[in-house]
Amino acid sequence: MAEIIVPELAESITEGTIAQWVKKPGDKVEKGEFIVELETDKVNAEIISEEAGILKEILAEEGDTVLVGAVIAIVEAGDAAATPAPTPAVEEAAPAPAVEAPKAAPAPVVAEEASSTERVIASPAARKLAREKGIDLASVSPVDPQGRVRVQDVAAHGTAPAAPAAKPAEAPKAATPAVDESRVTVEKMSRRRQTIATRLLDVKQSTAMLTTFNEIDMTNVMALRSRKKDQFQEKHDGTRLGFMSFFTKAVVAALKKYPYVNAQIVGNEIHLNNFYDVGVAVSTDDGLVVPVVRDCDRKNFAEIEDAIGGLAKKARDKKLQIADLQGGSFTITNGGVFGSLMSTPIMNGTQAAILGMHTIQKRPIAVGDEVQIRPMMYVALSYDHRIIDGKDSVGFLKTVKELLENPEDLLLES
């Protein structure tokens, strides 16, 4: 038999939620085959079977929260078709002795456990938790009919006598006003959405966030893009020239000019980043994620467009890895794709600033002594005032504006 165990995905991830089982008990599985999807705070992970055989038992249902190291399923090696009858026969013959076993077994089992906990069948996570709590594994009553001790059994050990306390635990539900389901649709928050909510609130509460605005005349960028897009696409094997590469290049140039916008606070220190890893916010069905485009100062327009397109596809397909989301020094978010005219974006994690792009809208503006209709975009820079002074924030945004209104200058910055 082989255990399907929740793997370690990253140092900061200690648990996840079973999102979907793609196999059910009795199904045949191949070695390396994807059998369950796990939703974590950051990404969805596909857990595979390390053995070929039959999925014998599922130990955690969809929606259950499971710890890293927990056993969530059992795969029986070999082809179940070869031994269909013996398996149920053995299981049906076992119940009578199994009922009596707990009465006769405690003394010898405890004696054996006193010398070695290895005699007790338990998951790695259960052993770890037992060590931390100082619990003798032999004294834990497993729910598993085969006697396997799981982390849930260890966590519940010693709490059985306090069963009446379960009623007070239900009190909050009773105190909550009843919901009229004919008028209100109740939807459980996903783990991802809960994490997003918590982190955004943390940023608001732990930083001195301020937002400054400007507007950009997009006439020249749009004209340049219109003239060059076909040539660009042909030269770069189908890669399309979008606005994001222009904004990313302008941001990198502005970050070099105003390094405190590319910094972060670590304890009582300010860390000025000498790299330009730009996070690009991507909206998915599960919420907003911010994959990171690495070394944007070393990439050309086509490489930036390819990187953004590839990460956006991975996000929509739920294929992002933890590494795709870590280490960004600055973020760009584009609410304009949804029609937003103006917003105050919230900073991402420990970063010091975020640039918000918005929809392009034709407006009358003064050009010299004339009023002309131009395609204009409002841009917003939200920043941590603890690190960044108003002069630097305004100067940063003004630099971005000037480079985008004179896009040929971006070529000199590349």
> Which sequence positions are flagged as catalytic?
385, 389
Identify which of 65, 74, 87 has the alpha carbon closest to the alpha carbon of residue 27. 74
At a CB cut-off of 8 Å and minimum separation 6, what does 319 contact?
313
Give the C-alpha separation, 291 to 311, whole Å.
Answer: 6
Please compute, for residue 9, the number of CA atoms within 13 A of its CA located in the half-sphere on the CB side.
Answer: 26
**At 373, is the secondary structure helix, strand, or coil?**
strand
Half-sphere exposure of 413 (CA within 13 A, CB side): 26
Residue 381 region by backbone torsions, left for phi larger than 0, else alpha for psi between -120 and 50, else beta: beta
Query: Quick one: residue 305, left, alpha or beta (phi over 0 = left, psi -120 to 50 = alpha)?
Result: alpha
List the beta bridge partners of residue 77: 53
Beta bridge partners of 371: 366
Region of residue 53 (phi > 0: left; psi between -120 and 50: alpha; otherwise: beta): left
The β-bridge relationship of strands 370-384 and 209-217 is antiparallel
Structure tokens belonging to residue 207 = 């930083």
> At 251, phi and psi to the nearest 5?
-65, -45
Residues in the chain: 414
Cα–Cα distance, 319 to 195 (Å, whole number): 18
Alpha helices in 215-353 (DSSP H): 219-235, 243-257, 301-316, 322-325
Q: Report d(CA 322, CA 17) in Å as an integer.
A: 16
Question: Residue 262 in 3-state DSSP?
Answer: helix
CA distance 126 to 152: 8
Q: How many CB atoms lie within 10 A of CB 161?
A: 7
Q: How far apart are CA 152 and CA 142, in angstroms?
A: 9
